[in-house]
A and B are shown apart, each in its own frame.
Chain A
Amino acid sequence: EAGVAQSPRYKIIEKRQSVAFWCNPISGHATLYWYQQILGQGPKLLIQFQNNGVVDDSQLPKDRFSAERLKGVDSTLKIQPAKLEDSAVYLCASSLDRGTGTDTQYFGPGTRLTVL
């Protein structure tokens, strides 16, 4: 079974530029998550989708970050415009979400963003 796919793996941009990350979850997984992991910290949830609906985006900086999951499968996270403090690893995860409790989240390899 293929795991969670993410691209690109690395991205370097200058501040005020735009950037987009792509994620393809494990086949059949209804729930998709985007996390931000700043160096030296644990991952922080940015947004959670169930199918193509948003469940939680309370920690997403909506003035510059946006995310979509149009067909309930793959997802795109965008930052526009980027700031220096956005330098981090962006992790995508998915879970089966059978509704029987906390399902295990499976993570992709992440995208390491450097903002100069």
Chain B
Amino acid sequence: AQKITQTQPGMFVQEKEAVTLDCTYDTSDQSYGLFWYKQPSSGEMIFLIYQGSYDEQNATEGRYSLNFQKARKSANLVISASQLGDSAMYFCAAGPLHFGNEKLTFGTGTRLTIIP
């Protein structure tokens, strides 16, 4: 079982600045995956980035990077050069790496607002 904690309910960031969204997790699984999703006001959950617990290098996808610190059990999302379209809810999620079992547990989310 996993528990995901996102301690920032809301953040305001100036356009073009970098932003870090915090996520800590607690899991009893030996192998697990960490995900970040974006949820705009339209409601759809958009996959952003994935990190496996076995990956030694931090994942990157365009302007998104995942700062994975296994010993601290943290998986922070970093968005570089923020844009107005980045305003949305952001959810951190984790799931065990078992064959055919992809059950994800989500955090409560962080609402990010980009200020022009």
B-contacting residues of A (Cβ < 8 Å)?
Answer: 31, 40-45, 48, 50, 55-56, 89, 91, 93, 95, 97, 99, 101-110, 112
Interface residues on chain B, number (Cβ under 8 Å): 28
Interchain CA distance A40-B46 in the complex, whole Å: 17
Q: Does B12 contact A (CB under 8 A)?
A: no
A-contacting residues of B (Cβ < 8 Å)?
Answer: 4, 32-33, 35, 37, 42-47, 50, 52, 91, 93, 95-97, 99-104, 106-109
Decide: A110 and B47 in contact? CB cutoff 8 A: no
Interchain CA distance A55-B50 in the complex, whole Å: 23
Minimum CB–CB distance for B12 against chain A, Å: 18
Interchain CA distance A109-B91 in the complex, whole Å: 16
Interchain CA distance A108-B107 in the complex, whole Å: 19
Q: A56-B101, A102-B96 are in contact. List 11 more A-B contacts (CB 8 A).
A: A40-B108, A41-B109, A43-B45, A43-B91, A89-B43, A93-B45, A99-B100, A101-B33, A102-B52, A102-B102, A109-B43
